[in-house]
Amino acid sequence: MKSEKIQDLGLDPEKLPVHIAIIMDGNGRWAKKRLMNRVKGHEKGSKTVRSIVGAVRELGVGMLTLYAFSTENWERPKVEVKALMMLLKRFLVSERDELMTRDIRLNILGQKEKLPGDIQEETDKTVDMTRNNQGMVLNLALSYGSRQEITLAVRSLAQKVLSGLIRPDEISEEMISDHLYTRQMPDPDLIIRTSGEFRLSNFLMWQAAYSELFITDTLWPDFTKDELIEILINFQERDRRFGKVKCST
Ligand code: FPP
């Protein structure tokens, strides 16, 4: 979107976040309110995924990370897990053209190896196909958990110490960041959680150190581009100090 258009929305194009991450919560409650099966909520939630990916791309934000399936979500009833996997597959296949047209690169964060074989195939295909796209990065967090991610990083660093590649005192914050699924990616500037819960739920806990958090009561299936813009306006009004003080007086 042109910068004048972004200004018309009340946004400063210079102060847009580089990376937005979203905890998409409330699909089940959305369905329950309508006396529907939870799966219907996930179906409507998938439509919201499509529209919000498009909106973030249009606004010119470089990276969007969506928490689509956590390491804990495997414990949900089998039918629900199956339905979520089916929706995911549908998204990966049906959105390929859209991702290519909009120049969006798809990336997966999480335990890819735990996903069913057909989902792994479709993710690999979409990731490969979109590899050279430059317009935006879409990270789907799938079978993702921060503690699992940090555990893997610790194991990998311990292995490097053991084999003499690095000394323990050489381990730095940057080195830890470089052993996470998000290696080489900017930390999220803004983390949005829908449906009113005030928690991170094992999502990007290392990367969220200085993220601005925004909780909205809106349930994910009802989340819209207009609300996203309101949140971005609020984000631009915040004073991000990263633990420092702003002026020298
Ligand atoms: C949380 O709602 C949502 C999820 C566990 C999954 C998110 C999945 C989608 C939005 C659809 C599929 C994803 C893609 C990328 C196509 P909840 O079920 O925990 O809601 P509740 O807290 O109201 O029960």
Helix (H), strand (E), coil (C) string for the chain:
CCHHHHHHCCCCHHHCCCEEEEECCCHHHHHHHCCCCHHHHHHHHHHHHHHHHHHHHHHCCCEEEEEEEEHHHHHCCHHHHHHHHHHHHHHHHHCHHHHHHCCEEEEEECCHHHCCHHHHHHHHHHHHHCCCCCCEEEEEEEEECHHHHHHHHHHHHHHHHHCCCCCHHHCCHHHHHCCCCCCCCCCCCEEEECCCCCCCCCCCCCCCCCCEEEECCCCHHHCCHHHHHHHHHHHHHCCCCCCCCCCCC
Q: Which residue has the higher pLDDT, 3 or 222?
A: 222
- Looking only at the bridges linking them, the beta strands covering 63-70 and 104-109 are unpaired
Distance 151 CA to ligand 1 centre (A): 25
Beta carbons within 8 Å of 233's beta carbon, 6+ residues apart: 10, 11
Distance 168 CA to ligand 1 centre (A): 40
Atom of ligand 1 nearest to the CA of 80: 18
* Ligand 1 pocket test, candidate residues 22, 42, 50, most atoms within 8 A of CB: 42
Q: What is the pLDDT of residues 61-101, one digit of tens each?
A: 999 999 999 999 999 999 999 999 999 999 999 999 999 99
Distance 27 CA to ligand 1 centre (A): 5
Atom of ligand 1 nearest to the CA of 88: 16
Share of the chain above pLDDT 90, in %: 94
pLDDT average, residue stretch 32-36:
98
Residue in 106, 100, 97 with CA at minimum distance from that of residue 127: 106
Is residue 79 within 8 Å of residue 99, measured between CB atoms? no
Domains in the chain, CATH or no CATH each: 17-150+189-234 (3.40.1180.10)
pLDDT average, residue stretch 17-31:
98
- Residues tagged active-site: 25, 73
Residue ID of nearest Cα to ligand 1 atom 10: 45
Q: What is the pLDDT of residues 200-240, one digit of tens each?
A: 999 999 999 999 999 999 999 999 999 999 999 999 999 87
Distance 181 CA to ligand 1 centre (A): 21
- Which pLDDT value is given to residue 249? 53
Q: Write out the two tokens for 21.
A: 């991450």
Give this prediction's pTM: 0.96
Rounded Cα gap, residues 13 and 189, in angstroms:
15
CA angle in degrees (0–180, nearest 5) for 3-9-12: 50
- Structure confidence at residue 189 as a pLDDT band (50, 70, 90): very high
